[in-house]
Amino acid sequence: MTSIWPQLEPILPKVARPARYIGLEDGSVQPHHDPRKVSWLLLYPDTYEIGLPNQGLQILYEILNERDDALAERSYAPWVDLEAELRSRGLPLFSVDTHRPAGEFDLLAFNLSAELVYTNVLNCIDLAGVPVRAAARRPEHPLVLAGGHCTYNPEPLADFLDAVVLGDGEEVVAEITEVVRDWKASGRTDGSREGVLRALARVPGVYVPSLYDVAYDGPRLVAVTPRFADVPDRVEKRTIADLADWPYPRRQLVPLTEVVHDRLNVEVFRGCTRGCRFCQAGMITRPVRERPAEQVRTMVAEGLRRTGYDEVALTSLSTADFSGIEEVVRAVVDDPVNGQQTSVSLPSLRVDAFTVGIAAQLQRARRTGLTFAPEAGTWRMRQVINKLIREQDLYDAVDAAFSQGWRRMKLYFLTGLPTETDEDTLGIAELGRNCVEIGRRHTRSASVTLSVGGFVPKPFTPFQWFGQNTVPELHRKVGLLRDDLRRHRSVQLKWHDPKATLVEGLTSRGDRRLGPVIEDVWRQAGTFQEWSERFRLDLWLDALARAGLDPDWYVHRHRTEDEVLPWDHLSAGLHKDFLWQDWRDALDEVGLEDCRWTPCYDCGACTGYSIEHIVASATPPAGGSQGTGQDLAAESSTPVQLLARPPQARPAQAGAR
Amino acid sequence: MRIRFRFAKTGKVRFTSHRDVARLWERALRRAELPVASTQGFSPRPKVHFGLALPTGHESLGEYLDVDLREPECASVDPAELPQLLTPLLPAGLTVEAAALVDRPGPSLQEAVTSCSWRIEVPGADLAELTAAVERLLAAPEAWVTRERKGRPVTDDIRPAVAMLAIAGSLPPDRLEPGVVLEAELATQPRGVRPSELLAALEPPHQEGRVCRTHQWIALDGARREPLPAPTTWAPHAQARAS
């Protein structure tokens, strides 16, 4: 079978938003299938609207389709209405590019960006006509792979994945293609699956769960050990040394129907060394690798011309830290073709007036709302999480924003952080009230939205040992804020469902024993759990009970230093003793500087892989104090304490304030 | 200066919504670097005016769009070149058939169009049975259908809106099941009657398969004509692009 489009066509009028399933995006390809080529199906296990913009998937799509020996197509989780139609007609999951059955590809490669999609992964494998359990697959079945941030603890999905890729995918997909090409050439004979998995395990960055034995002592994990000598004890992540070598996506996909982040996206750097202790992305993507400003300018100009978008986002974990930011902003704004109508967005604004100034240059039109992420309500709490924003930084930023025409601020916070007291929680409300007061000096319609999420400790962060707050405790904290803000109608409070936070915590730090739980929830039709209208805590609790597992043990328990963690046999380059020291420092309310501009504290990410930060400027970005520590001592009444280390020459201080 | 475009929407792209098509056009117009006029104010939008919405999933050989261009930059724009310029900037299946200057004081496309012609596939229908059902409807003085409007059932008579209805033949052989093709002309004033409502009004009711809007009509000085005539070569071209 080549395409199921003729069977699909009569079904699509019956389902919601059928444009999700037709492909045809500008930038998409209709690859020529050839038995000698390795065929990849890149899957995002959520709806098309969420999955299409994913940059990682788009980058790999292009890189693979540029190869002579590979091709790639895409697929997204069909919504429940189409799933029901497919199942009732015996039709499989399909690619959106050529509507080919998913089971006909050599590889099903999932992007895992969030834990709550795990049941969708199983559903997609099943809809592809492939056994959900890796052990039941035969040589004719595709290899099932996963990459993305969640793969730093893939253990809950170990039963279902053939192989897992850690870190940047740009280089490793070539090596995987070669292994699979050889497997195809050998005829995929009976029993050959074990051989190809062994070969994949020898590729740096590739983890094959089935090649490891797991030992438990009661509830405790004792060891995860390779079953063969040629399988590594510890799998290290892959890191591309220089983003300049990878100017992808060159042809960003332009969807026909509206999706999230529906704009041109240009990644300006990867990695972050701010050192926010709750932030897994910042820890696992080190070191910082900036794209040259000239390349950013070219990608923006060419991308806008090619796509017809009137908005471009400069993406990274903290774009105001990009050392070429002013140069790039000036180039976009001054471009005679695009400049007048193009708006530029910085998806992660740093909290300071300098950043607002940049934003003001960029968003000359449509100045409606700005978002900042102070993350915690008091300075003490922000020292614990190492998000070193002074209150004054926030007030300066908010004042600058309201004075320059913005009318709505959104502030992101976490609650349930380590050592958090009710005073810290209520500090969130106080910041919100003060921001509204500042706004009222400029506009009567000033409003502030406080968005509060329950904190989920993540692997490979200093908080990986912390016992997550319980659902009642998170509810109590949200209740404190609601009571406190009841009479302040200009301050709106939004919060995430603590029940979903519980399941996220379960899957983010769980081990292989959660496999049957995930399978159970999926079999009870528990798909799209990240969608609040579909989330069902009861399915998870029932499944845990049936498996004899205790959610408290997985989620709410503090871990000890000597405990074997389910991801100890994987590595993001970070030394475990660095993370433990940072955890102790957090409990002591001690901050840690951004190592881009201060001496190395040997977290392991650079030294372990013999790579370095690539930062165009030795000078920290102007303005603000966040994380750099550089100008805190000068003005702050509460100077951050820095870790004791031998005095060394510091790079030049930031000039502009 | 206002330019009217006539375009076709065929094949897979028919599953995009009216709103999707509007955004596809806005991006294509920017890529073509045409001097499109903008609205004034806080958040300027391009001055682009669409005709009657086409239900998602229906094809069309006669969709329309009016675009206002800025003076004086528009002087360099030759409407005759626009179909060739814009079609490659739109997804496969959206084909620009014609473009021409229009006089500004005319009514909007939505107001001007009074009826649409449709080609309606009825899979699974028996030719003799459907022929009889069509004759019954045409002979009846009224035809009541119930539809949902703002969550409430509304019943009204669509018989006055059926200007023409006829059997056009059998379904093309590449369809999954055999059936019958209908041709109909349905009024758009005071409200646009949908082909699905027409089939629901038949006795017994039928379900639509593929549906194509073949023409939109405006009344001018008592005569019926299209907002912009199609060039004589359009049909094979549009069909070839349909997937």
pLDDT digits (tens, 9 = 90+) for A134-149: 999 999 999 999 999 9
CATH number at residue A47: 3.40.50.2300
Residue A538 has a CB neighbour count (10 Å cut-off) of 11
Domain that holds residue B192: 112-225
Instruction: Give residue ranges of A with CB < 8 Å to any B CB.
Output: 5-7, 10, 12-13, 17-19, 21-26, 254, 256-258, 305-310, 337, 341, 365-367
- Residue ranges with strand state E in A90-248: 107-111, 143-147, 163-165, 206-207, 212-217, 220-226, 235-236
* A337·B33 Cβ contact <8 A: yes
Res A325: pLDDT: 85
- Name the residue among A13, A256, A365 with its Cβ closest to that of B13: A256
For the residues A462-470, what does the mean pLDDT come to?
Answer: 98
The span from the CA of A528 to the CA of A511, in Å, is: 22
Choice between A535 and A615, residue whose per-residue pLDDT is larger? A535
Residues of B in contact with A258 (CB under 8 A): 19-20, 23
Distance from CA of B16 to the nearest CA of A (A): 5
Mutation to test the B interface, candidates A4, A21, A26, most B Cβ within 10 Å: A26
Q: Does B224 touch chain A (CB under 8 A)?
A: no
Residues of B in contact with A341 (CB under 8 A): 30, 38, 44
Number of domains in chain A: 1
The answer to whether position B243 is within a domain reads no
Condensed to tens digits (0 to 9), the pLDDT of residues A110-169 reads: 999 999 999 999 999 999 999 999 999 999 999 999 999 999 999 999 999 999 999 999
Residues B16 and B72 in one domain: yes
CATH number at residue B9: 3.30.70.580
Distance from CA of A200 to the nearest CA of B (A): 38
Residues B86 and B136 in one domain: no
Residues B118 and B33 in one domain: no
The answer to whether position B74 is within a domain reads yes
The answer to whether position A178 is within a domain reads yes
Residue with tokens 């080190």, as numbered in its chain: A286
Residues B83 and B118 in one domain: no
Res A621: pLDDT: 62
| A416 touches A495 (CB < 8 A) | no
- Tell me the DSSP string of B80-95: GGHHHHHGGGS-TTEE
For the residues A4-12, what does the mean pLDDT come to?
Answer: 95
The answer to whether position B230 is within a domain reads no
Task: Name the residue of chain B whose CA is nearest to A97's CA.
Answer: B12
Residues B134 and B174 in one domain: yes
Residues B127 and B100 in one domain: no
Residues B9 and B94 in one domain: yes
Q: Kindly report the CA angle at B170 between B168 and B173, in degrees rounded to 5?
A: 140
Residues B69 and B155 in one domain: no
Res A346: pLDDT: 81
pLDDT at A637 over 50: no
- Name the residue among A22, A26, A254 with its Cβ closest to that of B13: A22
Number of domains in chain B: 2
* A308·B89 Cβ contact <8 A: yes
The span from the CA of A373 to the CA of A387, in Å, is: 9
The answer to whether position B236 is within a domain reads no
Q: Does B55 touch chain A (CB under 8 A)?
A: no
The answer to whether position B232 is within a domain reads no
The span from the CA of A560 to the CA of A573, in Å, is: 21
Residues B93 and B174 in one domain: no
Interface A-B, measured as beta-carbon pairs within 8 A, has a size of 69
Residues B97 and B133 in one domain: no
What single-letter DSSP state applies at residue A442? T
pLDDT at A598 over 90: no
Condensed to tens digits (0 to 9), the pLDDT of residues A475-524 reads: 999 999 999 999 888 999 999 999 999 999 999 999 999 999 999 999 99
Distance from CA of B91 to the nearest CA of A (A): 7
Q: Does B62 touch chain A (CB under 8 A)?
A: no
Residue A560 has a CB neighbour count (10 Å cut-off) of 7
The answer to whether position B181 is within a domain reads yes
Residues of B in contact with A365 (CB under 8 A): 42-44
Residues of A in contact with B93 (CB under 8 A): 24
Using DSSP bridges, classify how beta strands A447-454 and A408-415 pair: parallel, antiparallel or unpaired.
Answer: parallel
* B15·A12 Cβ contact <8 A: yes
Residues B122 and B217 in one domain: yes
The answer to whether position A171 is within a domain reads yes
* A24·B209 Cβ contact <8 A: no
Phi (first) and psi of residue B3, to 5 degrees: -115, 135
The span from the CA of B49 to the CA of B66, in Å, is: 5
Distance from CA of B175 to the nearest CA of A (A): 8
The answer to whether position B165 is within a domain reads yes
pLDDT at A656 over 80: no
Mutation to test the A interface, candidates B10, B12, B31, most A Cβ within 10 Å: B12
Residues B76 and B168 in one domain: no
| A567 touches A508 (CB < 8 A) | no
What tokens were used for B146?
Answer: 């119930």
Condensed to tens digits (0 to 9), the pLDDT of residues A306-339 reads: 999 988 999 999 888 888 888 888 888 777 765 5
Mutation to test the B interface, candidates A257, A263, A366, most B Cβ within 10 Å: A257
Res A422: pLDDT: 98
Domain that holds residue A34: 5-217
pLDDT at B43 over 80: no
Which of the listed residues B50, B80, B110 is the one where a domain comes to its end? Answer: B110
